[in-house]
Structures are given as C-alpha cells and as structure tokens.
Amino acid sequence: MPELNPSTRLPPTRQQSEAAATDAASHKAARERRAAEIRGVATIAAMRDAIKAAARALPPFTTIARCGPLDAKAFRARAMQGLPFLMEGGASHWPLAALDAQALREHYSHLPVRARVGDYVGTAFAPDRAMADMSLLAYLDLVAAGTLGLPPYLGNLELRELNRLCHWPAYFDKMGPPRFWLGPAGTVTPLHCDYDDNVFAQVWGSKRIVLAPPHHDQFLYPKEANAILFGSPFDPEAPDYERFPLARQAACVECIVQPGDMLYVPAGWYHQVRALTFSLSSNRWARALPLALRAA
C-alpha cells in the first residue's frame, strides 16, 4: 500500500491525542520537580504561594528606593526586605559600558543571534512566537534601516563573548548565566513575572520599567507560560480598564533606569520594560530560594 501524501494523512486518533497529552503533562511535571529541587522547595506552586503571602505583609508599594552600589552582604540584607530597589552606578565600571554599537559592529558582528520580530508583544508568551535567526551585524543593519511597528528586538540571549565584559557581584548563591537585551527605542518586554530573584543591569541607554507586587496578580489577569513565568495582557503604559477593570486596583510603580543602573526585581514581581533609547541591558536570575522567603 503506497504511503499517504502528508497533506492527506488522517488526523490523530483519540488514543493518540490522549497519549500525546499524557506525555506532555509528564514532561511538564518532571520540569517542575527539577525546578523545585534546584530552588530547594517542596513544589513551585507552594513557592509561588509563599512569595505572594510574604508580599501581602509588605508596606504599600508607592516608590522604588534608590541607593549606591552594594556588596553582596549588603545587597542580600536589603533584598530580604522583599521590595525592589535600584543601585545607581552599579554597572557603570563594566568594560561593556565603555563600548557602543559601533564597537559591536567591529568586534562582534559575526555572533549568531535570534531576533524577536512581528507582534512579539501580543505573542510574548506563546510557544510559536515569531523569531528570525541572523548575525549581529544583520540585526544592527535591520535596526538602522528602520521598520514600521514594533522594532525587532534581541531579548533574553546568551552572548558568551560579552560575559567577560561584565563584572557581576555574587549576589545570589546560585546565579543563572547572563542574558542580554539589545534594541532601539520602542522595544518592549510586556508585563510578566518570573518566580526567581532578578538583577537587571542597564548598560547603555535608558528604559522605563513598571513594577507591581506579586499578590496583585489577582488584578492583572495572569496566564501561565510555565511554572515560573506568568504573563499579563494588561499594559500599564496604556491601560484599558474597560477590558481589564480589576487592573485599577493594581499598584503599578514606574522607574527609569539609566546607564550603569542596576535594578533588583524580587521573585514574583510583575514588570514591563520599554526602551526609551537604543539600549543594551543584561540580567541574571537566581537559581535558589528567593531572598524574601529566606527572611520569612
């Protein structure tokens, strides 16, 4: 019997669909068990609940405190209070801060990158978000040429060649690898939360970051992307209270990060990030029990 043409193959049977769903659920459960083991918690769901409970005991969130650079001991003591804060000049001494886009062209144009293209805000937490593979030089040329709508964005990339140009303090017992974010004004990471502590360094340019507390997720219509990442369709920079009436009750506080600033975003805090100028940022997530829970 000749093989069926792919376009005429029969749809999966009910048994095949159920088996695929069971397999996916098994893989998801295994990932969550591994994530819980890494962070030293019983379950990720219990950790999320504990983070929200700790946040409910905090004072009202009305501003983001600022301070100078902190060593690891002082950072951890402050982070255990459970609130975000900004360290002015914390990354200003990095060798990467002394470079510019032209230096990237001259020394790193060959690096392979994956750009977020199209409506990457509307599909931010979808598994099939549009991406385009290219060289860093091709990306910089694409940005220079300009584009209608959302400009393409290099987000959440490992660029190991740049790691040696960043001098990260050992703020967490276990830190994930540096991630890099590069793009022109108008690039956006929409509102979401990561259930890991996060230190975000603004290397070049400036960005607007809006934050909201973990327990205000009840006002932000969250949707799970995975066990430690939740997205929100609400845009705090252009609020649509007809579609999202509960969002009126969310405490959204804005700050502007300038070159050299480092922002601590505690685990579970919602944040939205928009580039105001051509920007290069880097961040690292902890891979351990959130500091606010250690204090609790």
Compute the distance between CA of residue 175 and CA of residue 284 in angstroms, rounded to an integer. 6
Residue 152 vs residues 42, 108, 148, 161, 272: alpha-carbon distances, Å? 39, 18, 10, 22, 17
Quick check: 117 pLDDT over 90?
yes
CA 3 to chain centre: 46
**Residue 3 confidence (pLDDT):** 52
Could you tell me the residue ranges of all domains in the chain? Answer: 30-99+169-293
| Domain 30-99+169-293 top-level CATH class | mainly beta
Q: What is the pLDDT of residue 12?
A: 75
- pLDDT(22) > 60: yes
Q: Which pLDDT belongs to residue 126?
A: 82
pLDDT at 6: 52
Length of the chain: 296
In this prediction, residues 18-47 reach a mean pLDDT of 86
pLDDT tens per residue, range 44-103: 999 999 999 999 999 999 999 999 999 999 999 999 999 999 999 999 999 999 999 999
Return all residues near 246 (Cβ < 8 A) that are at least 6 apart. 218, 219, 220, 221
Distances (CA, A) of 243 to 49, 195, 225, 240: 26, 26, 21, 6
Read off the pLDDT of each residue in 259-275 and give the average, rounded to a whole number. Answer: 98
Q: Is it the case that residue 18 has pLDDT exceeding 70?
A: no
pLDDT band at 20; cut points 50, 70, 90: low
- Convert 117-153 to b/e letters by CB count within 10 Å (16 or more is b): beebbeebbeeeeeeeebebbebbebbeeeeeebbbb
Cβ atoms of 196 and 49 within 8 Å: the answer is no
**pTM (predicted TM-score):** 0.90
Look at strands 65-67 and 85-87 and give their pairing.
parallel
Residue showing tokens 């219990």: 46
The predicted-structure confidence for 180-199, as pLDDT tens digits, reads as follows 999 999 999 999 999 999 99
Residue at token pair 């959130």 = 290
Residue 267 pLDDT greater than 60, yes or no: yes
Q: Report residue 212's pLDDT band, with 50, 70 and 90 as the boundaries.
A: very high
3-class SS letters over the chain? CCCCCHHHCCCCCHHHHHHHHHHHHHHHHHHHHHHHHHHCCCCHHHHHHHHHHHHHCCCCCCCCEEECCCCHHHHHHHHCCCCCEEECCCCCCCHHHHCCHHHHHHHHCCCEEEEECCCCCCCCCCCCCCEEEEEHHHHHHHHHHCCCCCCCEEEEECCHHHHCCCCCCCCCCCECCCEEEEECCCCEEEEEEECCCEEEEEEECCEEEEEECHHHHHHCCCEEEECCEEECCCCCCCCCCCCCHHHHHCCCEEEEECCCCEEEECCCCEEEEEECCCEEEEEEEECCCCHHHHHC
Q: What is the mean pLDDT of the chain?
A: 93
Mean pLDDT across the stretch 274-287?
A: 97
